[in-house]
């Protein structure tokens, strides 16, 4: 779910605030609360987020090959 708080929203808030970022995305795999993610971003960043994630996924695929 990208709208509303995720189960790791409190960590995402901490990351965003500590880095003075306009956006933060936290992905947790196998955490205390299970798998999950949280996104905090201005609407202009959210619009571009799918493209950014696709670029990141492509780079990860390239790195593991």
In a domain, 31, yes or no: yes
Report the pLDDT value the prediction gives residue 1, as an integer from 0 to 100.
Answer: 47
Answer yes or no: is 2 within a domain: no
Give how many domains the chain has, as a whole number.
Answer: 1
Whether 27 is in a domain gets the answer yes
Reported as a pLDDT band with limits 50, 70 and 90, residue 2 is low
In a domain, 47, yes or no: yes
- Domain of residue 46, residue span: 9-64
Strand ranges for the chain from DSSP E = 23-31, 34-41
pLDDT band at 9 (very low <50, low <70, confident <90, very high): very high
For residue 1, being part of any structural domain is answered with no
At residue 58, φ and ψ (nearest 5 deg) are -60, -45
Q: What digits encode the pLDDT tens for the residues 15-57?
A: 999 999 999 999 999 999 999 999 999 899 999 999 999 999 9
């Amino acid at each position: 779910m990208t709208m509303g708080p995720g189960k790791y929203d409190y960590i995402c808030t901490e990351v965003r605030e500590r880095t003075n970022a306009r956006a933060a995305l936290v992905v947790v795999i196998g955490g205390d609360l299970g798998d999950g993610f949280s996104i905090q971003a201005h609407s202009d960043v959210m619009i571009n987020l799918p493209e950014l994630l696709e670029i990141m996924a492509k780079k990860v695929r390239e790195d593991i090959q």
